[in-house]
Protein backbone atom coordinates (compact mmCIF):
# COMPACT_ATOMS: atom_id res chain seq x y z
CA UNK A 1 0.00 0.00 0.00
CA UNK A 2 1.30 3.40 -0.92
CA UNK A 3 1.68 6.11 1.64
CA UNK A 4 0.01 8.35 -0.93
CA UNK A 5 -3.46 7.27 0.21
CA UNK A 6 -2.67 8.39 3.76
CA UNK A 7 -1.67 11.82 2.45
CA UNK A 8 -4.85 12.00 0.37
CA UNK A 9 -7.01 11.19 3.39
CA UNK A 10 -5.15 13.77 5.46
CA UNK A 11 -5.58 16.39 2.73
CA UNK A 12 -9.31 15.74 2.53
CA UNK A 13 -9.52 16.02 6.32
CA UNK A 14 -7.69 19.35 6.35
CA UNK A 15 -9.79 20.75 3.50
CA UNK A 16 -13.03 19.67 5.13
CA UNK A 17 -11.98 21.11 8.50
CA UNK A 18 -11.12 24.49 6.96
CA UNK A 19 -14.28 24.55 4.86
CA UNK A 20 -16.39 23.61 7.87
CA UNK A 21 -14.84 26.37 9.98
CA UNK A 22 -15.33 29.00 7.28
CA UNK A 23 -18.94 28.02 6.70
CA UNK A 24 -19.77 27.97 10.41
CA UNK A 25 -18.31 31.45 10.90
CA UNK A 26 -20.34 32.65 7.93
CA UNK A 27 -23.51 31.38 9.60
CA UNK A 28 -23.96 28.40 7.29
CA UNK A 29 -23.68 25.61 9.83
CA UNK A 30 -25.84 23.22 7.76
CA UNK A 31 -23.57 23.59 4.74
CA UNK A 32 -20.56 22.95 6.96
CA UNK A 33 -22.10 19.72 8.16
CA UNK A 34 -22.91 18.76 4.57
CA UNK A 35 -19.30 19.41 3.52
CA UNK A 36 -18.10 17.22 6.39
CA UNK A 37 -20.47 14.46 5.34
CA UNK A 38 -19.27 14.62 1.75
CA UNK A 39 -15.64 14.41 2.91
CA UNK A 40 -16.40 11.34 5.02
CA UNK A 41 -18.19 9.67 2.12
CA UNK A 42 -15.25 10.30 -0.23
CA UNK A 43 -12.80 8.77 2.25
CA UNK A 44 -15.10 5.79 2.86
CA UNK A 45 -15.29 5.08 -0.87
CA UNK A 46 -11.49 5.06 -1.04
CA UNK A 47 -11.22 2.75 1.96
CA UNK A 48 -13.86 0.37 0.58
CA UNK A 49 -11.92 0.12 -2.69
CA UNK A 50 -8.72 -0.66 -0.78
CA UNK A 51 -10.42 -3.34 1.30
CA UNK A 52 -11.83 -4.90 -1.87
CA UNK A 53 -8.35 -4.98 -3.39
CA UNK A 54 -7.02 -6.59 -0.21
CA UNK A 55 -9.66 -9.32 -0.30
CA UNK A 56 -9.00 -9.94 -4.01
CA UNK A 57 -5.28 -10.26 -3.30
CA UNK A 58 -5.89 -12.71 -0.46
CA UNK A 59 -8.30 -14.70 -2.62
CA UNK A 60 -5.77 -14.99 -5.47
CA UNK A 61 -3.00 -15.80 -3.01
CA UNK A 62 -4.89 -18.79 -1.62
CA UNK A 63 -6.63 -19.54 -4.94
CA UNK A 64 -10.14 -19.56 -3.50
d(CA 26, CA 48): 34
DSSP 52: H
For the stretch 54-64, pLDDT in tens is 999 999 999 86
For the stretch 5-61, pLDDT in tens is 999 999 999 999 999 999 999 999 999 999 999 999 999 999 999 999 999 999 999
Q: Are 4 and 12 in contact (CB under 8 A)?
A: no
Report how many domains make up the chain. 1
Three-point CA angle 29, 31, 37, nearest 5°:
105
Query: What does residue 16 show for φ and ψ, rounded to 5 degrees?
Result: -65, -40
pTM: 0.80
Domain of residue 28, residue span: 4-62
Amino acid sequence: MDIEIIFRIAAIGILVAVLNTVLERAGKKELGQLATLVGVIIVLVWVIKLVKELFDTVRTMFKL
